[in-house]
C-alpha cells in the first residue's frame, strides 16, 4: 500500500509550522536558533499557499501523472512505482526549472540560491514526515491512497 | 518508554509526583509542553506582530517571503516592540505588587486595617529619610502614612526622578541622566512604552529598547524596591532564619494549607491566622493533628524569610503539591498561578480559592481579600481548609519524603551586619574578601522554572559551578527554592560544594555559600547590595566595575525580562538560559548582547548550558578583577595559587 501525505485544508491555520519543521529538519544544525545564528540557507519544500479563502500547505503530491518526471531533461527525476513516489537525484539536476513549470500543484519551488528546485523527499530516514509531526491542527497527515479514496 | 519523570525534573520529590501524574493520567505542565511541540518558530524568534489589525504579520526567517509587515515594520522593529511590551508587562506586575503594599501600609498607618502594624520601624525611618519625610517628633503611624502616600504618588509622577534612584552609585545616576533613561514615574514609563509600541510610533529598535530600559529601571529602582522596602516596614525586616523546603514539608496527619502567589499582604496574615487555637481545635476535631501552612512560589519566600514558614516548592511544583493528595486548600493571590490548577485540583479533594480581584478562575470559588478585614478573611479561608480535611482520601495521599534545611532571610542590611563581626554593619569584610582574592566575586542567580529546561537542573548546576569557583551567590524567587532543595542554602553546604576561599568566608562568619535574599521583587535588594559594595570602596566607582554577574537560567515570565533589563541597565552582565524572543532580528540580538555594554556597562548573553554560562560569568568576573587591578584569586580548583 503506498502512503501519501494528505492535507485537510479546512484545518490549516497557516501557522507555517510545517515550513519551519521542513527547513530546519533538512538543515545541517537541525535547530531553529542555531539555524538563524549560523545563517543557514536551507529552504522548506512545503509551503503554505493561500487560495479561495483557504490555506494549502503544499509539497510534492506524488501524483500518478507526475509530469515533472516526463519533463525532466536531465533524467534527475524518476518515479518509484513501488512506493508511489518521485525520486530526485540532485546530482543530475541542471536547474532548468522545467519541473517547476509543469507541476500542476505548484509544489516544486525554485531555490534561487542553490539554482536547483526544492523538492519534498518525504523526510527520508524519519519515521514520519516532519511537516506531519509539526502540524498543530492535524491538517497534514499520512494515509494510504486506498484509505483516502474510500473515505 | 524512557524515564520521563527523571528527564523532566532534577528534583527527586518532583520526579515522584510527575511519575504519579503519568501513572494516573493527570496532565500537568510537562505534558502540555510536549503537546505544544513544535512551538511556533515565528514567536520564538520574535518576528510575528499582532499589534494592529492590518496584521497579524510575520517576517519570513528563510529570506524568501515578506521581510516587512504591512506597515513596513522590519524584523528589528517587530522584535524590539514585542520585547519592549514584555518589559512593560513585567514592570507592571512587580510595580502593581508594590502599589498594593503601599496601599496596605497607608491603611495600616491610618488604623483602617487593624490586622497590620508597622513592625519595621528602623526601616521606616531609613526609607522616610530617602523620601525626605520629616520624622522628628512624629508618630510612627504618621510617618508611615506620609511615606505610603509619597510612594503611591511616584506611580503617577510625571517628571523628575524616583526617590530610590538616589541610592544608586553617583556615577550610575549621572550615566542614566546623560542617557535620558532615569525613570520619571513608575506607571508613566510603562504607559509610554505601550504608546511607543503602538502601530506607527517608535520604529527605531534602539530607541524602543532604550525606553524599555527606562521602564525596567522604574521597576527595579521603583515598583519592586517599594514592594520590598514597604514590606519590610509592614511585616518587619527579615533576619536569617532556619526553615524547611520541598514537598516533604506537607504533613500526612495535619491539615495542609498552601499559600501560592506573590504578595505578602495576604500570606503574612494567613500565617498568623493558622495559629488560631479555635481553628487548631477544629482541625483536631476532624482528626488532624494540627494545621500545617506551607508556601509556594514567591509568597512562600515572603513568609519563609520573615516567619520560617516552610516552602512546599517552586513554580513548577504547584501542580505537584496538589498531586500529593494531601493539600486541603490552596489559596492564591497574583502572578505565576497556572490556570491548570483548577483542573488538577479537581482530580483530588483540594479546594482552590482565589483571593485577588485581579486574579479569578472560571469555576473556582473566590473569597475576596480585603486589608480592612484581613484576619477575618484569612481565618474564613483556613476554616474551609480545615473542614475539607474530612474529604481527604487517605489512600490517595502520597507525600514524597524529600525535605531539606535552609537558611533564608538575608537582606541588604543584615547580611553584612552578620558578616561584619567587629566591623559591625559594614560591607568592608565582603569588599576585603574580594579585593584580597579570597572571593572571586559575587553572582545573582534568580528566576523561574520552565519545562523547556530540566526542572531545577540549570539552577543547581550553575550555582554549584559558581561556588566551586569561589563566587558568592545570592538568590531570589524560584531559583532560591530550587537550590535550597539541593541543600545549597544550608551552612554545611559550604564544606561540600564551595571553593576554598568561599569556604573560609562561610566558616568564618557562619553563612551558607548561597544566600537567599527573598522573593522576586526582592531582586531590588541585590541592587542595593551592589550599591553598598560600591559605596564601601575599593572596587571601582560604579556597579559595572564590580566583579559580579547575574543569571536567570530557567526563566519563563515577562517579569524575568524586566528584571534582566534593570540589572543590565544597572551595569550587570546578565545571562539568560534560553534567549529572549528576539533572535529573528540579528541587529537587535547584537544590540542586547554586545552594544549595550558600551552604553550602560551591562549586557545580556544567552546560554542554555548552565556550566558554560557559569564560566562565562566567571570569565566576566575575572575581566572586571583585572580591570580593577586586583590581586589574582587566592585559590583555583581548591589549590592556593597566590602567596
pLDDT, tens digit, 9 for 90 and up, residues B299-353: 999 999 999 999 999 999 999 999 999 999 999 999 999 999 999 999 999 999 9
What's the mean per-residue pLDDT of chain B? Answer: 95
Question: Are the C-beta atoms of A29 and A146 separated by less than 8 Å?
Answer: no
* A42 min Cα distance to partner chain B (Å): 8
What pLDDT shows up at residue B323?
Answer: 98
What pLDDT shows up at residue B325?
Answer: 98
Going from the first residue of chain A to its last (151 residues), give the mean pLDDT of each consecutive group of 10, the final group possibly shorter.
84 89 94 91 90 88 92 94 89 95 93 91 91 89 84 75
Three-class HEC string of B483-499: HHHCCCCCCCHHHHHCC
What pLDDT shows up at residue B2?
Answer: 62
Is the Cβ pair A37, B583 closer than 8 Å?
A: yes
ipTM (interface pTM): 0.73
Using a CB-CB distance cutoff of 8 angstroms, which residues of chain B are in contact with residue A15?
40, 42
User: Between these two residues, B199 and A9, which has the higher pLDDT value?
Assistant: B199
pLDDT at B639 over 80: no
Q: How far is CA B178 from CA B171, B223, B412, B546, in A?
A: 10, 23, 28, 21
Most A-contacting residue of B32, B34, B38 (CB-CB within 10 A), to test interface: B38
DSSP codes, chain A: --EEEEE-TTT-----HHHHHHHHHTSSS--HHHHHHTT-----S-EEEEETTEEEEE-----SS-HHHHH-SSS-EEEETTTTEEEE-GGG-----HHHHH-TT---EEETTTTEEE---TTTTSSS-HHHHH-SSS-EEEEEHHHHHH-
What pLDDT shows up at residue A130?
Answer: 95
Running DSSP on this structure, what letter comes out for residue B595? I
User: Tell me: the pLDDT tens digits for B411-459?
Assistant: 988 877 666 555 556 888 899 999 999 999 999 999 999 999 999 999 9
Q: Give B133's Cβ-side CA count (13 Å radius).
A: 23
pLDDT at B642 over 50: no
The phi and psi torsions of B524 (rounded to 5 degrees) equal -60, -30
What pLDDT shows up at residue B418?
Answer: 66
At B64, the pLDDT band (50, 70, 90 cuts) reads confident
Using a CB-CB distance cutoff of 8 angstroms, which residues of chain B are in contact with residue A24?
41
Question: Helix or strand or coil: residue B589?
Answer: helix
The predicted model gives B614-623 an average pLDDT of: 98
Of residues B40, B58, B61, nearest to A36 (C-beta) = B61
Cα(B498)–Cα(B500) distance, integer angstroms: 6
Cis-peptide into A121, omega within 30 deg: no
Of residues B38, B45, B62, nearest to A17 (C-beta) = B38
Question: Are the C-beta atoms of B296 and B317 separated by less than 8 Å?
Answer: yes
- Select from B421, B399, B412, B397 the least CA-distant residue to B444: B412
* A111 min Cα distance to partner chain B (Å): 9
Question: Are the C-beta atoms of B585 and B203 separated by less than 8 Å?
Answer: no
Q: What angle do CA A106, B75, A140 make, to 5 degrees?
A: 35
pLDDT at B29 over 80: yes
Sequence-distant (6+) residues with CB within 8 A of B35 are none
Of residues B38, B62, B584, nearest to A44 (C-beta) = B62
Cα(B444)–Cα(B435) distance, integer angstroms: 19
Is the Cβ pair A23, B62 closer than 8 Å?
A: yes
The predicted model gives B574-590 an average pLDDT of: 97
Beta-carbon contacts below 8 Å between A and B: 35
* A52 min Cα distance to partner chain B (Å): 19
At B637, the pLDDT band (50, 70, 90 cuts) reads low
User: Tell me: the pLDDT tens digits for B348-405?
Assistant: 999 999 999 999 999 999 999 999 999 999 999 999 999 999 999 999 999 999 999 9
Cα(B338)–Cα(B361) distance, integer angstroms: 10
What pLDDT shows up at residue B425?
Answer: 65
- Select from B214, B315, B205, B201 the least CA-distant residue to B260: B315
Cα(B473)–Cα(B526) distance, integer angstroms: 11
Cα(B593)–Cα(A36) distance, integer angstroms: 16
Using a CB-CB distance cutoff of 8 angstroms, which residues of chain B are in contact with residue A21?
38
> What is the dihedral sign for C-alpha B265, B371, B385, B317?
negative
Cis-peptide into B56, omega within 30 deg: yes
Scanning the structure block, which residue is given the C-alpha cell 506607571?
B187
Of residues B36, B579, B586, nearest to A33 (C-beta) = B579
Question: Are the C-beta atoms of B168 and B138 separated by less than 8 Å?
Answer: no
User: Tell me: the pLDDT tens digits for B250-290?
Assistant: 999 999 999 999 999 999 999 999 999 999 999 999 999 99
Using a CB-CB distance cutoff of 8 angstroms, which residues of chain B are in contact with residue A133?
38
- Closest-CA residue of B relative to A39 is B62
Running DSSP on this structure, what letter comes out for residue B633? P
pLDDT at B114 over 60: yes
Using a CB-CB distance cutoff of 8 angstroms, which residues of chain A are in contact with residue B38?
17, 20-21, 133-134, 136
Amino acid at each position: 500500500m503506498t502512503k501519501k501525505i494528505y492535507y485537510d485544508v479546512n484545518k490549516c491555520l497557516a501557522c507555517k509550522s510545517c515550513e519551519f519543521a521542513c527547513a530546519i529538519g533538512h538543515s545541517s544544525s537541525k535547530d531553529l536558533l542555531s539555524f538563524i545564528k549560523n545563517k543557514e540557507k536551507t529552504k522548506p519544500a512545503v509551503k503554505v499557499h493561500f487560495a479561495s479563502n483557504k490555506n494549502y500547505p503544499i509539497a510534492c503530491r506524488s501524483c500518478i501523472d507526475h509530469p515533472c518526471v516526463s519533463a525532466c531533461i536531465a533524467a534527475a527525476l524518476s518515479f518509484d512505482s513501488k512506493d508511489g513516489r518521485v525520486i530526485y537525484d540532485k546530482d543530475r539536476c541542471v536547474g532548468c526549472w522545467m519541473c517547476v513549470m509543469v507541476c500542476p500543484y505548484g509544489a516544486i519551488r525554485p531555490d534561487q540560491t542553490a539554482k536547483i528546485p526544492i523538492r519534498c523527499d518525504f523526510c527520508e530516514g524519519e519515521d514520519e514526515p516532519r511537516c506531519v509531526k509539526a502540524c498543530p491542527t492535524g491538517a497534514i497527515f499520512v494515509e494510504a491512497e486506498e484509505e483516502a479514496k474510500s473515505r | 518508554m524512557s524515564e520521563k519523570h527523571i528527564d523532566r525534573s532534577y528534583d527527586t520529590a518532583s520526579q515522584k509526583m510527575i511519575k504519579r501524574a503519568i501513572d494516573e493520567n493527570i496532565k500537568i505542565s510537562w505534558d502540555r509542553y510536549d503537546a505544544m511541540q513544535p512551538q511556533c518558530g515565528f514567536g520564538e524568534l520574535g518576528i510575528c506582530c499582532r499589534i494592529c489589525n492590518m496584521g497579524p504579520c510575520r517576517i519570513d526567517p528563510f529570506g524568501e517571503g515578506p521581510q516587512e509587515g504591512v506597515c513596513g515594520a522590519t524584523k528589528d522593529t517587530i522584535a524590539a516592540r514585542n520585547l519592549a511590551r514584555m518589559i512593560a508587562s513585567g514592570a507592571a506586575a512587580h510595580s502593581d505588587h508594590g502599589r498594593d503594599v503601599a496601599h496596605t501600609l497607608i491603611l495600616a498607618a491610618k488604623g483602617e486595617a487593624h490586622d497590620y502594624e508597622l513592625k519595621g520601624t528602623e526601616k521606616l525611618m531609613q526609607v522616610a529619610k530617602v523620601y525626605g519625610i520629616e520624622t522628628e517628633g512624629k508618630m510612627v503611624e504618621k510617618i508611615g502614612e506620609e511615606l505610603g502616600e509619597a510612594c503611591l504618588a511616584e506611580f503617577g509622577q510625571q517628571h523628575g526622578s524616583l526617590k530610590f534612584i538616589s541610592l544608586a552609585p553617583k556615577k550610575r545616576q549621572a550615566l542614566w541622566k546623560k542617557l535620558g533613561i532615569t525613570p520619571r514615574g513608575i506607571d508613566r514609563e510603562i504607559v509610554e512604552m505601550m504608546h511607543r509600541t503602538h502601530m506607527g510610533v517608535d520604529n527605531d529598535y534602539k530607541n524602543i529598547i532604550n525606553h524599555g530600559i527606562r521602564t525596567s529601571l522604574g521597576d527595579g529602582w521603583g515598583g519592586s524596591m517599594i514592594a520590598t522596602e514597604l514590606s519590610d516596614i509592614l511585616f518587619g525586616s527579615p533576619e536569617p532564619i532556619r526553615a524547611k523546603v520541598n514537598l516533604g514539608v506537607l504533613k500526612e496527619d495535619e491539615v495542609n494549607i498552601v499559600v501560592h502567589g506573590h504578595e505578602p499582604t495576604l500570606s503574612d496574615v494567613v500565617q498568623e491566622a493558622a495559629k488560631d487555637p479555635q481553628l487548631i481545635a477544629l482541625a483536631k476535631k476532624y482528626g488532624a493533628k494540627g494545621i500545617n501552612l506551607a508556601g509556594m512560589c514567591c509568597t512562600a519566600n515572603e513568609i519563609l524569610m520573615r516567619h520560617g514558614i516552610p516552602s512546599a516548592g517552586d513554580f513548577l511544583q504547584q501542580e505537584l503539591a496538589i498531586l500529593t493528595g494531601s493539600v486541603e486548600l490552596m489559596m492564591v493571590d497574583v502572578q505565576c498561578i497556572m490556570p491548570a490548577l483548577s483542573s488538577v485540583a479537581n482530580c483530588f479533594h483540594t479546594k482552590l480559592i482565589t483571593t485577588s480581584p485581579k486574579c479569578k478562575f472560571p469555576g473556582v470559588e473566590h473569597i475576596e481579600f480585603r486589608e480592612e478585614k484581613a484576619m477575618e478573611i484569612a481565618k474564613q479561608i483556613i476554616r474551609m481548609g480545615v473542614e475539607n480535611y474530612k474529604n481527604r482520601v487517605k489512600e490517595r495521599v502520597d507525600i514524597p519524603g524529600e525535605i531539606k534545611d535552609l537558611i533564608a532571610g538575608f537582606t541588604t542590611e543584615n547580611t553584612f551586619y552578620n558578616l561584619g563581626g567587629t566591623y559591625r554593619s559594614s560591607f568592608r569584610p565582603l569588599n576585603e574578601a574580594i579585593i584580597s582574592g579570597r572571593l572571586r566575586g559575587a553572582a545573582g542567580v534568580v528566576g523561574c522554572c520552565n519545562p523547556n529546561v530540566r526542572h531545577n537542573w540549570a539552577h543547581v548546576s550553575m550555582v554549584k559551578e559558581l561556588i566551586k569557583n569561589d563566587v558568592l551567590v545570592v538568590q531570589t524567587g524560584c531559583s532560591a527554592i530550587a537550590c535550597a532543595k539541593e541543600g545549597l542554602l544550608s551552612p554545611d553546604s559550604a564544606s561540600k560544594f564551595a571553593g576554598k576561599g568561599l569556604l573560609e568566608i562561610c566558616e568564618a562568619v557562619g553563612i551558607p555559600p548561597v544566600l537567599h535574599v527573598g522573593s522576586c521583587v526582592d531582586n531590588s535588594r541585590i541592587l542595593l547590595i551592589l550599591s553598598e559594595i560600591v559605596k564601601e570602596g575599593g572596587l571601582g566607582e560604579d556597579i559595572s566595575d564590580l566583579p559580579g554577574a547575574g543569571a536567570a537560567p530557567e526563566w519563563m515570565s515577562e517579569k524575568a525580562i524586566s528584571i534582566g533589563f534593570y540589572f543590565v541597565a544597572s551595569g550587570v552582565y546578565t545571562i539568560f538560559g534560553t534567549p529572549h524572543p528576539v533572535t529573528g532580528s540579528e541587529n537587535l540580538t547584537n544590540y542586547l548582547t554586545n552594544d549595550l555594554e558600551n552604553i550602560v556597562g551591562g549586557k545580556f548573553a544567552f546560554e542554555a548550558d548552565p556550566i558554560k554560562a557559569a564560566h562565562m560569568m566567571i570569565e566576566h568576573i575575572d575581566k572586571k578583577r583585572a580591570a580593577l587591578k586586583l590581586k589574582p584569586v587566592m585559590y583555583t580548583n581548591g589549590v592556593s595559587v597566590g602567596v
